[in-house]
Amino acid sequence: MIRIALVTAWLTLLLSVVGALFWYNDWVYQLPTPVPRNYVSVATGTRINLGQDINVSEKPVLLHFYNPECPCSRFNKSHFQSLVRSYGDKVQFTVVVLSDKKYSVEQIQDKIGLDIPVSFDQSLATRCGVYSTPQAALIDQEQQLYYRGNYNASRYCTDEKTAYAKIALDGLLKSESLPTLGTQALTSYGCSMPICKN
């Protein structure tokens, strides 16, 4: 009888600890990415120098800021793929890798499952006001920042009602002003760059 009580108490304690750890990690996971001390915000309408890595064409450019080690970047994979499939003929998609590890273009293309351009120019993040992954920066045909922010309100990129990057793509392609998207669109959630800490 005492043995059963001890085993029950031990299992209850173990489950409580696991539950508390899970709850704590889930709570931390839902917090926004801390804004770096030296962060400088970049306003929409700012002309963005895309550098030498990105071929400028007649199309708008969507920069996909990505870190292979970032769980949020991995969760975003299928959502990003669907955007490329839907808008790839009208928008130039480029992956911008924000990682302290070295990767080849082929490794990144394999990880995201797409044969699209890849840039390792991390200074693009500063020029666009990006400090976490995954983030999208949509640059119009005049190389001006149209949108910088989240793909949607969910870190898992599954909330279609708040598909901010898709809303921005639709607005730009219809030559509309960027609709008001709210703070969740512009508050960074994910991994700080270049080392995934969150």
Contacts of 70 (CB under 8 A, 6+ apart): 133, 134, 190, 191, 196
Mean pLDDT over each residue of the chain, to the nearest integer: 86
197 domain residue, yes or no: no
SS3 161: helix
What confidence tens digit (pLDDT) does each residue in 119-161 have? 999 999 999 999 999 999 999 999 999 999 999 876 666 667 7
What confidence tens digit (pLDDT) does each residue in 168-189 have? 999 999 999 888 888 888 888 7
* Distance of alpha carbon 28 from alpha carbon 162, whole angstroms: 22
Buried/exposed 3-19: b ≥16 CB within 10 Å, e otherwise? eeeeeeeeeeeeeeeee
2 domain residue, yes or no: no
Please report the DSSP string for 89-102 in residue order.
TTSEEEEEE--SS-
Q: Which of these, 165, 192, 159, lies nearest to 179 by C-alpha position?
A: 165
Confidence of residue 110 (pLDDT cuts 50, 70, 90): very high
Q: What are phi and psi for residue 48, nearest 5 degrees?
A: -110, 125
For residue 80, what are the domain limits?
Answer: 61-192
SS3 73: helix
Type and span of the H or E element at 65: strand 61-66
40 domain residue, yes or no: no
CATH number where 152 lies: 3.40.30.10
pTM of the full predicted structure? 0.84
Number of domains in the chain: 1
What confidence tens digit (pLDDT) does each residue in 3-28 have? 888 878 888 888 887 777 666 555 55
SS3 33: coil
What confidence tens digit (pLDDT) does each residue in 35-73 have? 888 888 899 999 999 988 787 788 999 999 999 998 888
Tally of helices (H runs) and strands (E runs) in the chain? 7, 7
* Model pLDDT, residue 11: 80
56 domain residue, yes or no: no
Confidence of residue 194 (pLDDT cuts 50, 70, 90): low
160 domain residue, yes or no: yes
153 domain residue, yes or no: yes
- Are residues 151 and 185 in contact, defined by beta-carbon separation less than 8 angstroms? no
